[in-house]
Structure 1
């Protein structure tokens, strides 16, 4: 590392990131460090290591927080703090400028999730051609019926299906964001799961996977782009005359239909591979509240009938 007092903070962070994080963390995580480096360079291109104080560091955080939510600012701070604690240990700085830092941020935006209602999903599924060789229609059908994440669905191989027991095992993803691709771990331990399949999917995929290599991903043939599938899905939505949603919107649609059907939050969380029910509750809060209101009406009617 450069011991020069004139070294800029962003230069130190970039060197630190390459030395300690490159190859030690997943590529998707390393991309977040790269984003931090980019933001740091933009916000404080002249800030030297020798000029780092609690005041200058707090100003840097405040500048970042003007256009980012608090949680995002917290992530930015964690990355910088990790590098600066190493700099302190190496004697490049004499004090920890991150001590007692105040994390601010713009108000949290409640992003209303986009999903289709049951009759809209049915109209979309009616547009799919599930005959013959592998195509994106099968991919869309699989996510709509299982709630898989995009990378999880790409990672599905024929041997993941247990047609006799009507289940699909999810134990890996496909790293579509890297140039070389390849299998990658699931998002978290809870994402490793067995998903029960409906009988239609069992019939469709038992036919589709006949003769395909057991351990090779069904839907991967060269470089995969999220936008390619989303644009294809957009055309299908327009043809079906339903609201345009993304592939991730299919996952939301799957979860929403289960909740409206009365499936418990715990079961939905397990099926989606959420690490805890809190994630499910936060994501589908407006649906859960709507269902609670309906439950309250049922309770009142029931109590009234007891008189």
Structure 2
């Protein structure tokens, strides 16, 4: 019998299942002992899953996993930005498990970065938060120490956008190959990475359009868009096509020394921002970078009543709000509003003097 009583003590159950003995005592009644035995047998037949206690992941390992993800899914420039900050984080916290990183530690680091600028500190926080969100999403870690940390207030300024005359002066100061490069950026409103990636297969001189590719999309997909050619861009590309090297697929390329294999190679440009400062100085204009050409083109179109949806497609933005950041022109709506204010203010001033008289 698996349930029995012991004089002066009470009832108990005692049974063996697959070589393991299960027993419990002392119940006041036989009924209670029977119920307890039934529950134990049910528990044995349907055991609860054993929850593994997650091991605490090393912060350095989490950062490396995030870097691998960014490298696979995002642009090279985005990866380089992450790598730059990751090296600083590794020096600070590379020896710690994620569970020992606290919000106070991160906040202290951000205060130091804020000494450089609020923008610098906010970028650090944004990237750190992305690392921890990645870890939580992948179930590598279970807490985000950046939760609750607020971004620093920034002093927003109107971005400097060069006028067309200054852009003309800079292009005129460049050598012929660089002139073509600048015209390609200016006439397509393309990103530098998109122009660097441009190959002849993406150019249709007959139908007058080019295809630009960007990774600045959700999921990191390399996404194409068609941009119509201006007459100027068609002339530039037609001349380059006539002079192209048949065995080189890129529209803009260079010969460079490859340290890895110890020889000269040819390939597309990675970044050419260094020459813009010297060109602006040579042209005698205020310094601006490539990205200002996108802002300039967008503002010109906006100032001439081009629908924002069309500007958005040309710039390759998914979000209309991003496009609005590029629009620096002062439209007729603002001018008309100020004119109405001025007339109304003048009339109010005249009426006030009439009433006093």
Q: Match for residue 277 of structure 2?
A: 234
Aligned partner of 2:251 among 218, 222, 243: 218
1:191 and 1:273 in contact (8 A); partners too: no
Q: Structure 1 residues 162, 70: CA separation in 2 closer, same or farther (over 3 Å shift)?
A: same
Q: Match for residue 334 of structure 2?
A: 293
With normalisation by structure 2, the TM-score equals 0.61
Secondary structure at the aligned position of 2:226 is classed as: strand
Q: Match for residue 177 of structure 1?
A: none
Write the distance in 1 (CA, Å) between the matches of 2:198 and 2:64: 37
Secondary structure at the aligned position of 1:192 is classed as: strand
Q: Match for residue 181 of structure 1?
A: none
Q: Match for residue 250 of structure 1?
A: 293
Secondary structure at the aligned position of 1:98 is classed as: coil
Aligned partner of 1:75 among 124, 127, 130: 127
Do residues 13 (structure 1) and 62 (structure 2) align? yes
Deviations 1:215-241 (A, max 9, x none): 711112245352xx3333333323332
Q: Match for residue 178 of structure 1?
A: none
Do residues 120 (structure 1) and 166 (structure 2) align? yes
Secondary structure at the aligned position of 2:210 is classed as: strand
2:210 and 2:227 in contact (8 A); partners too: yes
Aligned partner of 1:98 among 136, 140, 144: 144
Do residues 280 (structure 1) and 326 (structure 2) align? no
1:166 and 1:202 in contact (8 A); partners too: yes
Write the distance in 1 (CA, Å) between the matches of 2:152 and 2:252: 40
> Which structure dedicates a bigger proportion of its chain to strand?
2
2:103 and 2:145 in contact (8 A); partners too: no
Write the distance in 1 (CA, Å) between the matches of 2:170 and 2:183: 10
Deviations 1:24-67 (A, max 9, x none): 44463554554454343344356445x63xxx522133224323
Aligned partner of 1:158 among 200, 212, 224: 200
Paired residue total: 266
Q: Structure 1 residues 75, 168: CA separation in 2 closer, same or farther (over 3 Å shift)?
A: same
Do residues 265 (structure 1) and 311 (structure 2) align? no
Q: Match for residue 167 of structure 1?
A: 209
Q: State the shift of 1:300 in Å.
A: 7.6
- 1:32-43 mapped onto 2 (5 Å cutoff): 33-35=82-84, 37-43=86-92
Q: State the shift of 1:149 in Å.
A: 0.5
- Point out where structure 1 has 5 or more consecutive residues left out of the alignment: 89-95, 173-184
Q: Match for residue 180 of structure 1?
A: none
Write the distance in 2 (CA, Å) between the matches of 1:24 and 1:191: 15
Q: Structure 1 residues 225, 301: CA separation in 2 closer, same or farther (over 3 Å shift)?
A: same
Higher relative contact order (CA 8 A, sep 6+): 1
Secondary structure at the aligned position of 1:194 is classed as: strand
Deviations 1:246-272 (A, max 9, x none): 122222222222223332322222111
1:230 and 1:246 in contact (8 A); partners too: yes
Q: State the shift of 1:273 in Å.
A: 0.9
1:191 and 1:275 in contact (8 A); partners too: no
